[in-house]
Amino acid sequence: MRLGSPKSVPTYPKTVLPIAASVGGLALFLIFASLLLVYQPIGTKVSGYFYNVDQAPEIGVSSSNNKTNVFENRVNDTDIKRKIEYSSTNKTFDSGTNTTVNLVTNKTVDLDASETIDLDTKSVEIDTNKTIDLGTSKTADSGAKKIVDSGCDLYHGNWVHDPAGPLYSNNSCPVLTQMQNCQGNGRPDKDYENYRWKPTKCQLPRFDPRKFLELMRGMTLAFIGDSVARNQMESLLCMLWQAEVPVNRGNKRMQRYYFRSTSTTIIRIWSSWLVHRTTEKFDFAPEGVDKLHLDAPDETFMDVIPTTDVLVLSSGHWFAKQSVYILNNEIVGGQLWWPDNTQKKKIDSTEAFEISVATIMSSLVTNPDYQGLTVVRSYSPDHYEGGTWNTGGSCTGKVKPATDGELVESEFTNTMHDKQVSGFNRGIKKKTNKSRVAFMDITKPFSYRHDGHPGPYRSPDPNKITKRGPDGRPPPQDCLHWCMPGPVDTWNEFLLETIRRDFEARDL
């Protein structure tokens, strides 16, 4: 099946095609994933320690269940082609018609004035040759400047082999989601655990749980966002667990762990998009479909913000899922949803992502009750190479980080990263001298870690398929979340260093 098109096959000309292909592929994957999840919600099962606070299913995970095949048979090519939306090209693809929709690129998002976002803009052709320079870290300006000034660029460097290995194992960490327990799920190789990130101009210290707790004495750290936020939170807990077993004070709404020795609290709250979501009918969008009010932050966690000292935000992947985009009380676009193809969408999913980031950052830096450090973790790259999750996309067989020559750039990932950076910068324009913000720019470093995902080892089922079939089909797999232990632990080394630098800068 050619539909999904390779997500990032290097032989394609470096023009718009790979972008289209990758976005189309992702969209296609998500159609399947969404359909599939209706029948087979993939919940989060953690060995008794966690309340189930994930109100939403996993994203980016294909199913090992035979129901997958049911959908492949039922959704035929025609159906799929109708639904694919090319978000990053200058055309909205619509099989059967020749409608061309120019994307609005020069929208003005003015969050400084009256919280209104002006999208009344000219359509211009998109610059398909725009290169996104990831080589020099796109660490946004701002408090970020403060951070860069007080140390080297953490995100420019390379992966080096380090036989010292991880701080914990699947056996020494009881709060590890089974889907990320790669070793426990039978992954045969282990050396992917033995790589450390080496910034070019300095050392990134190995994570020190005691140091982290001391630094965060009496403080609260909150992870807010999607399942990738959970991935990072669990990694942090696993490492801290080695120094001290925390008290579980979670409830239905949030995960919460309390470390007695330093009175440090780690919490996590689910928010798929970080902006206000409704499902009621709105204008011509029917009830049931998710509606994202891109200019309003998700209110579900706002009450927690004032008591938070460090906030880590994680979002992005849900923008590929079906939803309606609302701005200024008007429907301005939709992802995998649009009733009338003769009508232009004003924004696509990547632009919606940008606006959402601007909205949340603006609301945080202008919140008079919040003085914490806000860390935006940049878009986490997935590695469904050579296709999407069900069209031959695969990360199986990757046992070490990619070399420069092996690196497969994903235009979609680059676009999401770029949008996130601009949303961040726009959102913090209103920052005061109290605001503390940092952009944790992991996208490029982690684009090398195609070996860090569970791949087919995402369940303990001894009968799961882990090899390609005789027809070349790869097994169902997760090439989005990260194994634990694994490269995701590095995010918390970045986090510790970011917090340390911020605290030091404030002491000066």
Ordered DSSP codes for 301-319: GTTTGGG-SEEEEE-SGGG
Residue among 40, 52, 78, 200 that touches ligand NAG (CB under 6 A):
78
Positions 125 through 144 that interact with ligand NAG (CB under 6 A): 125, 129
Our finding on whether 170 is near ligand NAG (CB under 6 A) is yes
Report which DSSP code applies to 326: E
Our finding on whether 184 is near ligand NAG (CB under 6 A) is yes
Determine the Cα–Cα distance for residues 257 and 216; give it in Å rounded to an integer: 13
Q: Which is nearer to ligand NAG, 171 or 343 (CB)?
A: 171
Residue among 66, 131, 329, 342 that touches ligand NAG (CB under 6 A):
66
Query: Which strand ranges, in their side-by-side order, compose the sheet holding 373-377?
Result: 247-248, 255-259, 264-270, 220-225, 310-314, 373-377, 436-440
**Least distance in Å: CB of 183 to ligand NAG?**
4
Residue among 48, 96, 135, 163 that touches ligand NAG (CB under 6 A):
96
Our finding on whether 16 is near ligand NAG (CB under 6 A) is yes
- The set of catalytic residues is 227, 478, 481
23 token code pair: 């976005």
Q: CB neighbours (10 Å) of residue 218?
A: 9
Q: Which is nearer to ligand NAG, 184 or 386 (CB)?
A: 184
Per DSSP, helices labelled H in 122-208 are 143-149
**Least distance in Å: CB of 2 to ligand NAG?**
15
**Least distance in Å: CB of 124 to ligand NAG?**
4
Q: Which is nearer to ligand NAG, 47 or 55 (CB)?
A: 47
**Least distance in Å: CB of 49 to ligand NAG?**
12
Q: How many CA atoms lie within 13 A of 154 on its CB side?
A: 30
Residue among 62, 137, 181, 492 that touches ligand NAG (CB under 6 A):
181
Residue among 73, 98, 114, 329 that touches ligand NAG (CB under 6 A):
98
Closest by Cα among 386, 383, 349 to 472: 386
Determine the Cα–Cα distance for residues 106 and 506; give it in Å rounded to an integer: 37
Backbone angles phi, psi at 467, to 5 degrees: -120, 160
339 token code pair: 């009733």
**Least distance in Å: CB of 203 to ligand NAG?**
29
**Least distance in Å: CB of 429 to ligand NAG?**
14
Query: Angle at Cα 299 formed by Cα 294 and Cα 300, nearest 5°?
Result: 125
Our finding on whether 469 is near ligand NAG (CB under 6 A) is no
Site residues for ligand NAG per CB under 6 A: 16, 66, 76, 78-79, 89-91, 96-98, 106, 122, 124-125, 129, 170-171, 181, 183-184, 433
